[in-house]
């Protein structure tokens, strides 16, 4: 596509390396997604968005920039998109789920850093991510040590603002968090040359809540027995929710949900009745990290819930919509974000309660806890999660892996043994 090539050149991408990435991505997508039987028609929209992930959507961002709008990048669900939208800016997720530029990344972060961090740094250093290159400002956050130190190196390569996320949920932490949300708002107001108005913030809250409501609806429907949609497809939907235009995305997901309802009425499933149902819990799976769901779903099981930031952790709670003044709405935003049960918090017992509840609601036969190698917060919590689930008599398999394909066979053996046992 010649017009995209020019756009990529203008973004200063390494065209050759980028072509290579797209080729691998296309092949991987074909193998993992297009090979599925009985997919819903509404998934065509998602296939289209993914096929144009470095094309049409990036063009939309460039067009928006040319019209004076700002692009904000983020790596974490703590960055409040409501405020970004209230300033007519666009927020995109920059977490990356593929090995690229790893060698270069290891010149600025230690080798024992998780694959997600190495990936976003590698993408930047190899100049292959058009989203990163489109951003006017990238927001980091003090969550895990890996990320917060990596942002020091990343900040030398890109315009950054780092939000301090508290580690506990006491009254003082809420005070700190509100100050950080206000500092984020100030920063974006300066960048955009605009002020957050009550009307625009109300609309921003509604837009993001509507997106969460569509995903909540999807999460309820997918839990039907037999499950009407594959776990891989729902993961893809969650991944795309971080890139796509929020209003268009919400509409498409609601259309897909209508189709799912019809399928449920016909008592049709994507997998035969009695297929073991699993929950995936743990670290976020950034696009195109589809390795583990693919292994699970080709081992005779189906994924019916994702307890992660690219899953229910990002959609479970809504912002209260009753506020009228900017300050009331900022408070409502702070309250909602303080409910995020990321493993970076201590003691984070609410995550245990949420996992137990989700396991019940989605009637799972077992849970696969997934941590990226070298991720301290989630590998630690895997022990707690296992204890909680054992008490609730739900079997759990703990997996630590990264983005490489070297352990696929070994993982498949372990997953198959687990599926057989439950």
Q: Which residues bind ligand BJ8 (CB under 6 A)?
A: 76-78, 114, 116-117, 143-144, 146-147, 283-284, 309, 340, 342, 344, 372, 375, 377-378
Which contiguous run of DSSP H or E holds residue 239? helix 231-240
Q: Determine the straight-line distance between the first and last CA of the chain, rounded to whole angstroms.
A: 49
Which is closer to ligand BJ8, CB of 116 or CB of 355?
116
In angstroms, the CA 96 to CA 145 distance is 18
Which is closer to ligand BJ8, CB of 94 or CB of 270?
94
In angstroms, the CA 151 to CA 157 distance is 10
Which is closer to ligand BJ8, CB of 224 or CB of 236?
236
Which is closer to ligand BJ8, CB of 75 or CB of 294?
75
Which is closer to ligand BJ8, CB of 244 or CB of 341?
341
Report in angstroms how near the CB of residue 142 gets to ligand BJ8 at its nearest: 10
Report in angstroms how near the CB of residue 178 gets to ligand BJ8 at its nearest: 18
E strands in 11-89: 71-74
Report in angstroms how near the CB of residue 140 gets to ligand BJ8 at its nearest: 10
Quick check: 386 and 398 in contact, CB under 8 A? yes
Measured CA distances, 382 to 241, 291, 388 (Å): 26, 19, 10
In angstroms, the CA 398 to CA 414 distance is 10
Taking each helix axis from N to C terminus, what angle separates 171-192 and 326-337, rounded to the nearest 10 degrees?
120
Which is closer to ligand BJ8, CB of 216 or CB of 376?
376
363 CB-near residues (< 8 Å, 6+ apart) = 223, 225, 277, 304
Report in angstroms how near the CB of residue 165 gets to ligand BJ8 at its nearest: 8
Report in angstroms how near the CB of residue 214 gets to ligand BJ8 at its nearest: 20
Report in angstroms how near the CB of residue 188 gets to ligand BJ8 at its nearest: 19
- State how far Cα 219 lies from the chain centre: 15
Which is closer to ligand BJ8, CB of 117 or CB of 208?
117
E strands in 188-231: none
Report in angstroms how near the CB of residue 170 gets to ligand BJ8 at its nearest: 18
Sheet holding 302-307, edge to edge: 302-307, 277-282, 366-372, 396-401
């Amino acid at each position: 596509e010649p017009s995209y090539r020019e756009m990529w050149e203008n973004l200063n991408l390494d065209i050759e390396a980028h072509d290579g990435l797209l080729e691998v991505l296309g092949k991987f997508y074909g193998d993992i997604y297009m090979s599925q039987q009985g997919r819903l028609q509404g998934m065509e929209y998602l296939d289209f968005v993914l096929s144009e992930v470095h094309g049409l959507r990036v063009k939309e961002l460039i067009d928006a920039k040319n019209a004076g709008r700002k692009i904000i990048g983020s790596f974490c669900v703590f960055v409040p998109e409501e405020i970004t939208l209230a300033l007519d800016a666009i927020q995109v997720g920059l977490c990356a789920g593929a090995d690229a530029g790893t060698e270069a990344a290891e010149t600025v972060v230690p080798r024992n850093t998780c694959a997600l961090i190495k990936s976003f740094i590698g993408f930047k250093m190899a100049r292959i991510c058009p989203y990163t290159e489109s951003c006017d400002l990238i927001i980091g956050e003090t969550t895990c040590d890996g990320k917060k130190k990596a942002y020091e190196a990343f900040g030398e390569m890109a315009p950054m603002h780092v939000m301090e996320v508290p580690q506990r949920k006491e009254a003082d932490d809420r005070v700190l968090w509100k100050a950080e949300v206000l500092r984020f708002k100030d920063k974006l107001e300066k960048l955009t040359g605009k002020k957050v108005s009550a009307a625009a913030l109300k609309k921003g809250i509604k837009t993001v809540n509507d997106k969460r409501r569509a995903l909540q609806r999807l999460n309820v429907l997918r839990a039907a027995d037999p499950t009407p949609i594959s776990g891989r497809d729902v993961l893809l939907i969650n991944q795309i929710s971080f890139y796509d235009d929020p209003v268009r995305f919400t509409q498409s997901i609601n259309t897909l949900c209508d189709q799912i309802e019809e399928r449920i009425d016909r008592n049709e499933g994507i997998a035969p009745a009695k297929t073991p149902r699993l929950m995936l819990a743990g670290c976020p799976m950034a696009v195109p990290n589809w390795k583990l769901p693919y292994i699970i779903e080709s081992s005779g099981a189906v994924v019916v819930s994702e307890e992660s930031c690219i899953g229910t952790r990002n959609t479970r709670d809504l912002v209260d919509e009753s506020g009228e003044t900017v300050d009331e709405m900022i408070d409502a935003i702070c309250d909602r974000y303080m409910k995020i049960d990321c493993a970076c918090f201590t003691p984070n017992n609410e995550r245990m309660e949420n996992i137990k509840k989700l396991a019940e609601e989605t009637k799972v036969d077992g849970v696969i806890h997934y941590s990226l190698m070298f991720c301290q917060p989630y590998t630690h919590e895997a022990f707690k999660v296992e204890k909680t689930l054992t008490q609730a008599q739900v079997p759990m398999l703990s997996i630590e892996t990264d983005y490489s394909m070297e352990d696929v066979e070994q993982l498949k053996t372990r997953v198959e043994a687990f599926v057989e046992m439950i």
